[in-house]
Amino acid sequence: MKEGRMHSAHLPHLLSMLFLSGATLAAASSIAATPISQVTSAQWDTLNSQVGGRLFQGVPFAKACFPPVTNQTACAEIQQHYTDGTIRYSFASGSTNTEWETCTTNGDQCLLDDTDPTNPLATKLPCKIGSISPYYIDVQEPSDVSAAFNFSLKTGVPLIIHNTGHDYKGRSTAPDSLGLWTHNLKNMSYNPSFVPTGCNGVSPTAAAILGAGVQWGEAYQFADNHNITLVGGSDKGVGAVGGWLQGGGHGVLSNTLGMGVDRVLEFKVVTPDGVFRTVNQCQNQDLFFALRGGGGGTFGVVLEASILAAPPVTLQVTLISWADPSIDITKEFLTILINNTVSLAKAGYGVTATTELALFATPLLDATSAAQAMKPFTDFAQNLIDNKVTGASSVTLTLPSWLEFFNTFILPVQSTNGVPNILGSRLIPTSSFATSDSQAQLLDALMAGVSLNPAKFIILGTTPVNFKPDGKTSVTDAWRTSLWHITTETHWTWNSTLQEKTAAFATAAKTVERLRAITPDAAYSNEADVYEPNHIVAFWGTHYNDLLKVKQKYDPHHLLDCWQCVGWKSQSSRFKCYIPTSSIATPQ
């Protein structure tokens, strides 16, 4: 068993030893896993040999705490770090949101109580493998992926691609599958004069070359070390070149520097025919188009991407916050935000706002201009302070780099880990801010969602409105004509019933129902409602037919598939743990 399967630097040594030991192919799993049909031990042994002995069994993250508990110290470590994303990322079986480790439809799971991981009631249930892959390959070489595709073609075993498990739609897990674990592809390099392979005559440009396992927290530090800026997401654990990038990718700097797909210069990818391809504007252009927004887990296994680097940025930052999400305060704030969104977008601001805070950052303005742009919001905050609203505060700073901004304002507030978490989302077009009537409609729709789900509404002013695209990406063009991306969150508990889970999905849909009614079909594929209606148009607009042709060209046997992805075959057995779409009824 090779040590490269997990990075012990990210794990307590005890945990690393616990999960690595006894996980060889020869070891019999004690998990009540459904066997992968008709695959012989000889076939698994052959695959293991082909991938250098790096085939290993999937083990639920919380297994150490389920009977028979043979190591109390190991269980205590799991309990202590149960909601720690850094630990979860380092396990092939780990998911940011634990519903994707389970099988929702039949209740198979191996979960602790995320509100109290020491709760003994959770471990009275049997530990079952759920949607975790029974086997994973620790991917190190292109040949590992080629062997997996060949194995899938011969056996019919479905494949999934898994890095950190930070996927809100469950596309990086599937029951009875073979997992391609890319997490240990941590290579990073910087080339100040990068030219895409085979692109003669193309001017060189600065680029960061990142392996598929690199996460944004690592990439940002690397970029700062080389005095460059990378456009990325707001969660340190998200992979930089996997699903985030291939689904579009957006962040605070997208207003001025574009989406993730706007900045890709080259991919290195193994396609389902087993070929390791270099993909850029000069070769395999159709695949380059598809990978720039068509979605991860669909067209191939990306092992590396070269990303356009920007010079260092100085950011003008304002944070206002309060701890009283009352309807009146929320409505007042949203009114101010809606009235000023167009001017904020023109000024280059990336915005994150909830019912209790708003964070604004721009690389375009100096401190004086930023103070003027922020005046409606700092006046709002001062009024809250004067009225002694709980937690009311206002902070304005000039920060000399993206990394300092990220570490100061973003890193302390990361996505929730180790809990079931269902999203809904919508792109809000410029037209919604154009007139007093459209603004009033938007405010009413937002307040309807807030009243249903008050603490879980997030407004992201992270669309690429000040960036001129090359017209060769495959995300919906609605990204280019929108000013907001809105997400909502709905949770359930470790012991929720199927009825309660079904209701949670329906609530996620209900929260954005009013927004759907006043906006075009447009949503971010990576953060959308699991049951997004008209998802083809919502995610890709007019690009879907071209994407489907690319899918059919490179994956004619449909070795890759994922929920609501291009070419999705919804009746496949790999989706048996999803509640059927017909069962999701919007609650009245």
| CA–CA distances in Å: residue 344 to residues 376, 415, 502, 506 | 11, 25, 38, 33
CA dihedral sign, ordered 521, 354, 372, 375: positive
**457-509 residue pLDDT tens:** 899 999 999 999 999 999 999 999 999 999 998 889 999 999 999 999 998 88
| CA–CA distances in Å: residue 147 to residues 143, 178, 369, 573 | 6, 12, 57, 22
Phi first, then psi: give them for residue 164, nearest 5 degrees. -110, -10
**436-463 residue pLDDT tens:** 999 999 999 999 888 876 657 899 999 9
4, two tokens: 């490269």
127, two tokens: 């530990």
**323-364 residue pLDDT tens:** 988 999 999 999 999 999 999 999 999 999 999 999 999 999
Q: For residue 523, which of 151, 232, 507, 531 has the smallest C-alpha distance?
A: 531
103, two tokens: 């099988």
Q: What is the DSSP letter of 203?
A: P
Contact 422, 508 (CB under 8 A): yes
| CA–CA distances in Å: residue 336 to residues 200, 327, 340, 458, 528 | 51, 14, 6, 16, 26
**541-568 residue pLDDT tens:** 999 999 999 999 999 999 999 999 999 9
- C-alpha 166/C-alpha 73 separation (Å) is 27
249, two tokens: 């990718």
* 3 pLDDT tier (thresholds 50, 70, 90): very low
Task: Tell me the pLDDT of the chain averaged across its residues.
Answer: 92
- Is the confidence at residue 82, as pLDDT, over 90? yes
- C-alpha 493/C-alpha 435 separation (Å) is 42
Task: Report domain extents, the chain.
Answer: 3-181, 315-542
- Is the confidence at residue 308, as pLDDT, over 80? yes
- Global pTM reads 0.93
Residues 6 or more apart in contact with residue 355 via CB below 8 angstroms? 325, 330, 333, 450, 454, 455, 457
Q: What is the DSSP letter of 443?
A: H
| Pairing, β 55-57 against β 457-461 | unpaired
pLDDT given at position 454: 61
Q: Which CATH class is domain 315-542?
A: alpha beta
Query: Coil, strand, or helix at residue 532?
Result: coil
* 576 pLDDT tier (thresholds 50, 70, 90): very high
